[in-house]
Amino acid sequence: MKKKMVSLQEFSEKIPSGATLLIGGFLGDGTPDLLIDEILKTDKGDFTVIANDTAFPNQGIGKLITQKRVKKAIVSHIGTNPDTQKQMIEGSLVVELVPQGTLAERIRAGGFGLGGILTPTGLGTIVENGKSKIQIGGREYLIESAIKADFALLKAKKADWYGNLTFAYTARNFNTFMAFAGDCTIAEIDELVPIGGLNPEDVVVPHAVVHFLVRRSRS
């Protein structure tokens, strides 16, 4: 069995500057803060971050924004983070705003090997600029491309040694489908249990798509 448990330093060494990062969470809930903090201990940056949002200044993904480690953010909203807004207006940060449902399904499509999705969301707005459209059954749809990334950084409640993951209630949010869309998926976990220690019905992300685990300290 491949060794999946790695130290924070080993994790950090795997992430290069310029990487594209899928990061789980919703306004900081379910965000892998430990992994983000470890990245910030290095001088790495120039990241493209794909997430639901950029949280708040100096919180969750917002820490990467505040310290100017992100060159592009693909998110559904930035309204809670004035640092994101300021950098976008200044031109130091490219922000691609995507309707939340569209963003989720584009990531899901990337994880399951699809080329993209069809959606009516955004028709007749700036969202459709530069995108192809198609008619099906007398209805018009935008063609939205699938999203994949170099790394998917997740926050899970529990894992077993194989890498099967469970989540705490709504903290699962974007984590569950992002797990499938990263070339390398790394999960920060609160608790590690023996193989057989998870109820199979509680497993949301299977071990086959999880490459590495980083355990949060018990202290």
Does residue 113 or residue 1 have the better pLDDT?
113
% of the chain beyond a pLDDT of 70 = 98
Place of tokens 């983000």: 36
Q: Which CATH architecture has domain 8-116+146-215?
A: 3-Layer(aba) Sandwich (3.40)
Residue boundaries of the structural domains of the chain: 8-116+146-215
% of the chain beyond a pLDDT of 90 = 95
CB count within 10 Å of CB 213 equals: 25
Banded model confidence at residue 28, pLDDT cuts 50, 70, 90: very high
Report the C-alpha gap between 121 and 59 in whole angstroms: 30
Question: Rounded mean pLDDT of 8-29?
Answer: 96
Question: Rounded mean pLDDT of 150-167?
Answer: 97
- Residue 178, Ramachandran bin (φ over 0: left; ψ between -120 and 50: alpha; else beta): alpha
Place of tokens 């709504």: 170
Question: Above 80 in pLDDT, residue 217?
Answer: no
The 3-class SS string of 121-185 reads CCCCCHHHCCCCEEEECCEEEEEEECCCEEEEEEEEEEEECCCCEECCHHHHCCHHHHCCCEEEE
Question: Above 70 in pLDDT, residue 218?
Answer: no
Question: Above 50 in pLDDT, residue 127?
Answer: yes
Does residue 216 or residue 31 have the better pLDDT?
31
209 HSE (CA, 13 A, CB side): 20
Question: Above 80 in pLDDT, residue 62?
Answer: yes
Instruction: Give pLDDT, residue 1.
Output: 58
Instruction: Give pLDDT, residue 211.
Output: 97
**Overall pTM > 0.75:** yes
Question: Above 50 in pLDDT, residue 219?
Answer: no
Question: Above 60 in pLDDT, residue 70?
Answer: yes
Question: Rounded mean pLDDT of 136-150?
Answer: 97
